[in-house]
A and B are shown apart, each in its own frame.
Chain A
Amino acid sequence: MAVDEMGGDCSSSGAQELHVLAVDDSLVDRKVIERLLKISCCKVTAVESGSRALQYLGLDGERSSVEFDELKVNLIMTDYSMPGMTGFELLKKIKGSSRLREIPVVIMSSENVLARIDRCLEEGAEEFLVKPVKLSDVERLRDFILRGEDKNKTEITRKRKTCDDSFFATLGIFTIIPQM
């Protein structure tokens, strides 16, 4: 369950590395999703059940919040059909937690059932991926999440910049009008 290191060519431009928690009871699927994520330059923690996932996220009350912050999870990818707690039940628990509900959750399923997809999206899942998951799915997800993370970080800078821009725009109007 250790957090693994990134793959070979991920060191470019100091781009932020996402930490993804992958949940799947299938050994084969865990290995594949792990590889897909590492190739996409994500840190991966792979667990085999919803209850292990909750343990890791500190929702079982055992982990202190300080520990949790160091291992911040940017995305949770979970299989739908798992013994014990399904991916849907895990999704509900995560969205029901004030501390964790902001973490995007993606459901993966081999069964393309519309009612299931709707239910998951309604419960707050970011996306529903049909298995087997492809590299292009993961890369698309990563880019989407990264944009979201960037947005959060630059929000303050953007606000400041907007103020500056407005100021200069105002100046611009005063210089343009005389030329007309």
Chain B
Amino acid sequence: MQRQLANMKQSLFDQGYLDEQFIQLEELQDDTNPNFVEEVVTLYYRDSVRLIQNIEHALDKNPLDFAKLDSHMHQFKGSSSSIGARKVKIECTQFREYCRAGNGEGCKRTFQQVKKEYATLKKKLEAYFQFARQAGPVEKACRPK
């Protein structure tokens, strides 16, 4: 089961959903904090609901306030980056570029992508953590003492 879990994780990296930062977080996990990564990711989901809603509301305004949109997305990009959400981060970056160009259509289009990538990642990570719990305590990544 451990091997399946490792394969699951590897494919998340191979398919580009996660980056190095996720590994950095895993290295912060130990016996005293065995669920650290899942805790951080859970906080991320909670935060993301709020941030995505903010962006949605801002995109409904007419005319669009690009500075505000950029600011909201900066926050969302930041927390996505902090958990290693690579594809989400890429879409966030694209969104911010459209903000800076004052391209409302581009923003709206890209935002759909942002939400799509976020939903996909969330689903995959939920499956991963659920499987991890079933697989039992795992040998944690070695952290230099």
Contacts and interface: CB of A to CB of B under 8 A. Distances in A.
A131 B43 contact: no
Interface string B54-83: 000000000000000000001101110111
B39 interface: yes
Contacts, number: 56
Interface residues on A, range: 10 to 19
Contacts of A7: 32
A27 B46 contact: yes
Interface stretch (A15-23, A32-40, A56-64, A164-172): A32-40
A134 B20 CA distance: 11
A26 B82 contact: yes
* B-side interface mostly: helix
Given A9-B145, A35-B36, A29 B82 contact: yes
A96 interface: no
B31 A134 contact: no
Nearest to A81: B74
Interface in B73-112: 74-75, 77-79, 81-83
Contacts of B143: 39, 135
Contacts of A8: 30-32
Contacts of A35: 28, 33, 36
Contacts of A27: 43, 46-47, 79
Interface of A: 7-9, 25-29, 31-32, 35-36, 39, 81, 110, 131-132, 134-135
